[in-house]
Structure 1
Protein backbone atom coordinates (compact mmCIF):
# COMPACT_ATOMS: atom_id res chain seq x y z
CA UNK A 1 0.00 0.00 0.00
CA UNK A 2 1.45 3.34 -1.03
CA UNK A 3 1.85 6.40 1.15
CA UNK A 4 -1.04 8.15 -0.51
CA UNK A 5 -3.29 5.10 -0.22
CA UNK A 6 -2.64 5.05 3.55
CA UNK A 7 -3.09 8.81 3.88
CA UNK A 8 -6.32 8.97 1.94
CA UNK A 9 -7.88 6.18 3.98
CA UNK A 10 -7.68 8.66 6.86
CA UNK A 11 -8.98 11.70 4.97
CA UNK A 12 -9.86 12.87 1.49
CA UNK A 13 -7.97 16.10 0.88
CA UNK A 14 -8.25 18.22 -2.22
CA UNK A 15 -5.19 18.02 -4.46
CA UNK A 16 -5.57 21.68 -5.40
CA UNK A 17 -4.97 24.86 -3.45
CA UNK A 18 -7.59 27.61 -3.55
CA UNK A 19 -5.59 29.34 -6.28
CA UNK A 20 -5.72 26.19 -8.45
CA UNK A 21 -2.08 25.14 -7.94
CA UNK A 22 -1.36 21.50 -7.10
CA UNK A 23 -0.52 20.86 -3.45
CA UNK A 24 2.87 19.37 -2.62
CA UNK A 25 3.11 15.99 -0.92
CA UNK A 26 4.17 17.77 2.28
CA UNK A 27 1.08 19.98 2.14
CA UNK A 28 -1.12 16.92 1.66
CA UNK A 29 0.56 15.13 4.58
CA UNK A 30 0.13 18.23 6.76
CA UNK A 31 -3.54 18.38 5.85
CA UNK A 32 -4.42 14.76 6.55
CA UNK A 33 -2.27 14.54 9.71
CA UNK A 34 -3.45 17.84 11.18
CA UNK A 35 0.00 19.36 10.81
CA UNK A 36 2.03 16.59 12.42
CA UNK A 37 4.91 17.29 10.02
CA UNK A 38 5.06 21.00 10.83
CA UNK A 39 7.33 22.98 13.13
CA UNK A 40 6.29 26.61 13.52
CA UNK A 41 3.96 26.21 10.56
CA UNK A 42 6.64 24.93 8.18
CA UNK A 43 7.55 21.43 7.08
CA UNK A 44 10.58 19.99 8.86
CA UNK A 45 12.73 20.01 5.72
CA UNK A 46 12.32 23.79 5.53
CA UNK A 47 14.32 24.05 8.79
CA UNK A 48 17.08 21.62 7.83
CA UNK A 49 19.50 24.25 6.60
CA UNK A 50 18.44 27.32 8.59
CA UNK A 51 18.33 25.66 12.02
CA UNK A 52 20.78 22.76 11.66
CA UNK A 53 22.99 24.12 14.46
CA UNK A 54 20.12 24.71 16.91
CA UNK A 55 19.75 21.54 18.97
CA UNK A 56 16.40 22.58 20.43
CA UNK A 57 14.97 23.23 16.98
CA UNK A 58 16.33 19.94 15.68
CA UNK A 59 14.69 18.17 18.64
CA UNK A 60 11.38 19.75 17.67
CA UNK A 61 11.89 18.47 14.13
CA UNK A 62 12.57 14.99 15.55
CA UNK A 63 9.28 15.15 17.44
CA UNK A 64 7.43 16.26 14.29
CA UNK A 65 9.01 13.44 12.29
CA UNK A 66 7.90 10.87 14.88
CA UNK A 67 4.37 12.31 14.98
CA UNK A 68 4.21 12.20 11.19
CA UNK A 69 5.48 8.63 11.20
CA UNK A 70 2.69 7.61 13.56
CA UNK A 71 -0.02 9.59 11.78
CA UNK A 72 0.92 8.98 8.15
CA UNK A 73 2.80 5.71 8.15
CA UNK A 74 5.94 7.28 6.71
CA UNK A 75 9.36 6.52 8.10
CA UNK A 76 10.94 9.39 10.05
CA UNK A 77 13.78 11.22 8.32
CA UNK A 78 17.12 10.48 10.06
CA UNK A 79 18.71 13.90 9.37
CA UNK A 80 17.25 15.58 12.45
CA UNK A 81 18.19 12.75 14.80
CA UNK A 82 21.74 12.72 13.48
CA UNK A 83 21.97 16.50 13.95
CA UNK A 84 20.73 16.21 17.55
CA UNK A 85 23.35 13.50 18.16
CA UNK A 86 26.16 15.58 16.64
CA UNK A 87 25.17 18.76 18.48
CA UNK A 88 24.69 16.87 21.74
CA UNK A 89 28.19 15.43 21.55
CA UNK A 90 29.62 18.91 20.88
CA UNK A 91 27.83 20.08 24.03
CA UNK A 92 29.08 16.98 25.90
CA UNK A 93 25.45 16.05 26.52
CA UNK A 94 26.04 12.33 26.04
CA UNK A 95 22.77 11.32 27.69
CA UNK A 96 20.82 13.27 25.08
CA UNK A 97 22.97 11.85 22.28
CA UNK A 98 22.25 8.29 23.44
CA UNK A 99 18.55 9.08 23.90
CA UNK A 100 18.05 10.42 20.38
CA UNK A 101 20.10 7.68 18.71
CA UNK A 102 18.16 4.99 20.57
CA UNK A 103 14.86 6.74 19.98
CA UNK A 104 15.40 6.81 16.23
CA UNK A 105 16.68 3.25 15.96
CA UNK A 106 13.73 1.96 17.98
CA UNK A 107 11.19 4.00 16.01
CA UNK A 108 12.55 2.71 12.69
CA UNK A 109 12.61 -0.86 13.95
CA UNK A 110 8.99 -0.52 15.05
CA UNK A 111 8.02 1.12 11.76
CA UNK A 112 9.29 -1.78 9.65
CA UNK A 113 7.84 -4.31 12.08
CA UNK A 114 4.45 -2.68 11.69
CA UNK A 115 4.44 -1.68 8.02
CA UNK A 116 6.88 -4.13 6.45
CA UNK A 117 8.91 -3.16 3.41
CA UNK A 118 6.25 -2.96 0.70
CA UNK A 119 6.37 0.47 -0.87
CA UNK A 120 9.07 1.70 1.52
CA UNK A 121 12.74 2.30 0.94
CA UNK A 122 14.71 0.80 3.81
CA UNK A 123 16.33 3.76 5.57
CA UNK A 124 18.43 1.31 7.59
CA UNK A 125 20.55 0.85 4.47
CA UNK A 126 21.19 4.58 4.14
CA UNK A 127 24.26 6.46 5.36
CA UNK A 128 22.47 8.63 7.95
CA UNK A 129 20.81 5.70 9.69
CA UNK A 130 24.12 3.83 9.68
CA UNK A 131 25.88 6.90 11.11
CA UNK A 132 23.35 7.06 13.95
CA UNK A 133 23.70 3.34 14.68
CA UNK A 134 27.50 3.51 14.55
CA UNK A 135 27.77 6.47 16.91
CA UNK A 136 25.57 4.90 19.61
CA UNK A 137 28.24 2.61 21.18
CA UNK A 138 30.73 5.50 21.46
CA UNK A 139 28.04 7.77 22.92
CA UNK A 140 27.23 5.11 25.54
CA UNK A 141 30.92 4.80 26.32
CA UNK A 142 31.26 8.57 26.74
CA UNK A 143 28.14 8.69 28.90
CA UNK A 144 29.45 5.94 31.18
CA UNK A 145 32.86 7.62 31.48
CA UNK A 146 31.29 10.95 32.43
CA UNK A 147 28.89 9.80 35.10
Structure 2
Protein backbone atom coordinates (compact mmCIF):
# COMPACT_ATOMS: atom_id res chain seq x y z
CA UNK A 1 0.00 0.00 0.00
CA UNK A 2 2.93 2.36 0.63
CA UNK A 3 4.00 2.11 -3.00
CA UNK A 4 0.57 3.44 -4.07
CA UNK A 5 0.99 6.41 -1.75
CA UNK A 6 4.44 7.11 -3.21
CA UNK A 7 3.23 6.87 -6.83
CA UNK A 8 0.13 8.99 -6.41
CA UNK A 9 1.49 11.30 -3.75
CA UNK A 10 -1.21 10.28 -1.30
CA UNK A 11 -0.90 11.52 2.23
CA UNK A 12 -2.88 11.03 5.36
CA UNK A 13 -4.86 14.09 6.36
CA UNK A 14 -7.19 14.79 9.22
CA UNK A 15 -10.90 15.45 8.81
CA UNK A 16 -10.41 19.11 9.66
CA UNK A 17 -7.70 19.42 6.99
CA UNK A 18 -10.00 17.76 4.46
CA UNK A 19 -12.80 20.21 5.33
CA UNK A 20 -10.50 23.21 4.92
CA UNK A 21 -9.24 21.94 1.55
CA UNK A 22 -12.81 21.29 0.39
CA UNK A 23 -13.84 24.82 1.38
CA UNK A 24 -11.04 26.27 -0.70
CA UNK A 25 -12.03 24.25 -3.78
CA UNK A 26 -15.75 25.00 -3.73
CA UNK A 27 -16.94 26.71 -6.87
CA UNK A 28 -20.29 28.42 -6.52
CA UNK A 29 -22.56 29.94 -9.12
CA UNK A 30 -21.91 33.27 -7.42
CA UNK A 31 -18.13 32.90 -7.84
CA UNK A 32 -18.70 32.11 -11.53
CA UNK A 33 -20.86 35.21 -11.96
CA UNK A 34 -23.97 33.14 -12.71
CA UNK A 35 -26.02 34.04 -9.63
CA UNK A 36 -29.14 35.92 -10.64
CA UNK A 37 -29.49 39.14 -8.65
CA UNK A 38 -31.97 41.99 -8.29
CA UNK A 39 -30.31 45.28 -7.36
CA UNK A 40 -27.25 43.34 -6.19
CA UNK A 41 -29.25 41.00 -3.94
CA UNK A 42 -29.20 37.28 -4.82
CA UNK A 43 -32.62 36.10 -5.96
CA UNK A 44 -32.73 33.35 -3.34
CA UNK A 45 -32.61 36.02 -0.61
CA UNK A 46 -35.42 38.00 -2.24
CA UNK A 47 -37.44 34.83 -2.66
CA UNK A 48 -37.39 34.29 1.09
CA UNK A 49 -38.20 37.88 2.04
CA UNK A 50 -40.57 38.80 -0.79
CA UNK A 51 -42.43 35.61 -1.59
CA UNK A 52 -45.78 37.22 -0.81
CA UNK A 53 -45.13 40.31 -2.95
CA UNK A 54 -46.02 39.86 -6.61
CA UNK A 55 -43.85 42.73 -7.87
CA UNK A 56 -40.79 41.42 -6.04
CA UNK A 57 -41.35 37.92 -7.35
CA UNK A 58 -41.80 39.22 -10.91
CA UNK A 59 -38.42 40.93 -10.61
CA UNK A 60 -36.90 37.70 -9.29
CA UNK A 61 -38.30 35.80 -12.29
CA UNK A 62 -37.06 38.43 -14.70
CA UNK A 63 -33.58 38.26 -13.19
CA UNK A 64 -33.56 34.44 -13.22
CA UNK A 65 -34.68 34.44 -16.84
CA UNK A 66 -32.09 37.04 -17.93
CA UNK A 67 -29.38 35.12 -16.11
CA UNK A 68 -30.45 31.86 -17.77
CA UNK A 69 -30.59 33.18 -21.34
CA UNK A 70 -27.35 35.11 -20.78
CA UNK A 71 -25.42 31.87 -20.38
CA UNK A 72 -23.89 30.11 -23.39
CA UNK A 73 -26.18 27.67 -25.21
CA UNK A 74 -25.54 24.07 -24.22
CA UNK A 75 -24.08 25.08 -20.87
CA UNK A 76 -26.91 26.90 -19.19
CA UNK A 77 -27.53 26.29 -15.50
CA UNK A 78 -31.26 26.11 -14.83
CA UNK A 79 -33.22 29.05 -13.48
CA UNK A 80 -35.10 28.60 -10.21
CA UNK A 81 -38.54 27.17 -11.03
CA UNK A 82 -39.86 27.96 -7.54
CA UNK A 83 -39.80 31.68 -8.33
CA UNK A 84 -41.90 31.15 -11.45
CA UNK A 85 -44.31 28.93 -9.54
CA UNK A 86 -44.67 31.58 -6.85
CA UNK A 87 -45.59 34.19 -9.48
CA UNK A 88 -48.23 31.87 -10.96
CA UNK A 89 -49.74 31.43 -7.50
CA UNK A 90 -49.72 35.16 -6.73
CA UNK A 91 -51.09 35.98 -10.21
CA UNK A 92 -53.93 33.52 -9.72
CA UNK A 93 -54.75 35.07 -6.34
CA UNK A 94 -54.81 38.49 -8.03
CA UNK A 95 -57.09 37.00 -10.72
CA UNK A 96 -54.59 38.01 -13.40
CA UNK A 97 -54.94 35.10 -15.83
CA UNK A 98 -52.92 36.80 -18.58
CA UNK A 99 -49.92 37.24 -16.32
CA UNK A 100 -50.25 33.70 -15.00
CA UNK A 101 -50.33 32.33 -18.55
CA UNK A 102 -47.40 34.52 -19.61
CA UNK A 103 -45.15 33.41 -16.74
CA UNK A 104 -46.05 29.74 -17.31
CA UNK A 105 -45.06 30.05 -20.97
CA UNK A 106 -41.81 31.76 -20.03
CA UNK A 107 -40.97 28.88 -17.70
CA UNK A 108 -41.93 26.29 -20.33
CA UNK A 109 -39.49 27.87 -22.78
CA UNK A 110 -36.68 27.71 -20.19
CA UNK A 111 -37.54 24.14 -19.18
CA UNK A 112 -37.58 22.92 -22.78
CA UNK A 113 -34.27 24.60 -23.56
CA UNK A 114 -32.67 23.28 -20.38
CA UNK A 115 -33.91 19.74 -21.07
CA UNK A 116 -32.34 19.81 -24.55
CA UNK A 117 -28.80 20.36 -23.26
CA UNK A 118 -26.44 17.40 -23.56
CA UNK A 119 -25.29 17.34 -19.89
CA UNK A 120 -28.94 17.25 -18.80
CA UNK A 121 -29.82 14.51 -21.30
CA UNK A 122 -26.85 12.44 -20.07
CA UNK A 123 -28.05 12.89 -16.48
CA UNK A 124 -24.89 14.76 -15.46
CA UNK A 125 -26.78 17.87 -14.38
CA UNK A 126 -29.78 18.44 -12.13
CA UNK A 127 -33.15 17.51 -13.59
CA UNK A 128 -34.75 20.77 -12.41
CA UNK A 129 -37.14 20.75 -15.36
CA UNK A 130 -38.67 17.53 -13.97
CA UNK A 131 -38.98 18.67 -10.36
CA UNK A 132 -42.13 19.47 -8.44
CA UNK A 133 -42.20 23.22 -9.08
CA UNK A 134 -41.60 22.82 -12.79
CA UNK A 135 -44.21 20.08 -13.06
CA UNK A 136 -46.80 22.24 -11.26
CA UNK A 137 -46.14 25.18 -13.58
CA UNK A 138 -46.48 23.02 -16.69
CA UNK A 139 -49.65 21.38 -15.34
CA UNK A 140 -51.08 24.82 -14.65
CA UNK A 141 -50.20 25.93 -18.18
CA UNK A 142 -51.96 22.91 -19.68
CA UNK A 143 -55.03 23.60 -17.54
CA UNK A 144 -55.18 27.27 -18.56
CA UNK A 145 -54.72 26.46 -22.24
CA UNK A 146 -57.40 23.74 -22.09
CA UNK A 147 -59.89 26.11 -20.47
CA UNK A 148 -59.09 28.76 -23.09
CA UNK A 149 -59.82 26.27 -25.88
CA UNK A 150 -63.24 25.49 -24.37
CA UNK A 151 -64.22 29.17 -24.36
TM-score w.r.t. structure 2 length? 0.69
Among 135, 139, 147, the alignment partner of 1:130 is: 135
> What CA deviation, in whole Å up to 9, does each residue of 1:90-121 have, x standing for no partner?
01000100110111011110122244414311
Which of 117-126 and 59-68 deviates more?
117-126
**Consecutive unaligned residues in structure 1, runs of 5 or more:** 1-20
**Consecutive unaligned residues in structure 2, runs of 5 or more:** 1-23
RMSD after superposition: 2.6
> Residues 57 and 22 from structure 1, CA distance in 2 versus in 1: closer, same or farther, beyond 3 angstroms?
farther
Deviation at 1:138, TM superposition (A): 3.0
Q: How does 1:78-89 map to 2 (within 5 A)?
A: 78-89=81-92
1:37 corresponds to = 36
Larger radius of gyration: 2
Deviation at 1:22, TM superposition (A): 8.4
Relative CO higher for 1 or 2, CA cutoff 8 Å, sep ≥ 6? 1
- Count of residue pairs the alignment pairs up: 122
Contact persistence 2:114–2:129 (CA under 8 A): no
> Residues 46 and 22 from structure 1, CA distance in 2 versus in 1: closer, same or farther, beyond 3 angstroms?
farther
Q: How does 1:1-147 map to 2 (within 5 A)?
A: 25-30=28-33, 37-72=36-71, 73-117=76-120, 118=122, 119-140=124-145
TM-score w.r.t. structure 1 length? 0.70
Deviation at 1:140, TM superposition (A): 3.5
